[in-house]
Amino acid sequence: MGKIRAFLIENQVLYREGMRMALSKEGDIEVIGESDDGEEALDQIKHLSPDVVILDSELPHLSGLDLTRQIRRHSPMISVILLARYEDDEQLFLAIQVGAAGYLIKSITGQHLAHQVRKACQGEYPINECLLTRPGVALRVLRQFQDLLLVEKEVEPLISPLSRRETEILEYIAQGNSNKEIAHALGICNQTVKNHVTSIMRKLAANDRTHAVVLALRHGLIRVY
What would the pLDDT profile of 4-30 be if each residue is shown by its tens digit?
Answer: 999 999 999 999 999 999 999 999 999
For residue 58, CA distances in Å to 64, 72, 112 come to: 6, 18, 21
What pTM was computed for the model? Answer: 0.65
Q: What is the pLDDT of residue 1?
A: 61
Partner residues linked to 54 by β-bridges: 8, 81
Look at residue 153 in the predicted model and tell me its pLDDT: 42
pLDDT score for 127: 79
Question: According to the model, what pLDDT value does residue 206 have?
Answer: 82
Using CA atoms, how far apart are residues 185 and 174, in angstroms rounded to an integer? 14
Is 224 buried (19+), middle (13-18) or exposed (0-12) by CB count in 10 A?
middle
pLDDT of residue 131: 65
Return the pLDDT at 151.
45
Residues of the chain with pLDDT under 70: 1, 128, 131-159, 224-225
- Which residue type is seen at 218? R
Q: Name all contacts of 37-41 with Cβ < 8 Å and 24+ positions apart.
A: 37/9, 37/11, 37/61, 37/62, 38/9, 38/62, 38/63, 38/64, 38/66, 38/67, 41/7, 41/9, 41/67
Distances (CA, A) of 128 to 45, 77, 140, 200: 25, 18, 13, 17
Give the domains, in start order, of the chain with CATH numbers. 4-130 (3.40.50.2300), 135-218 (1.10.10.10)
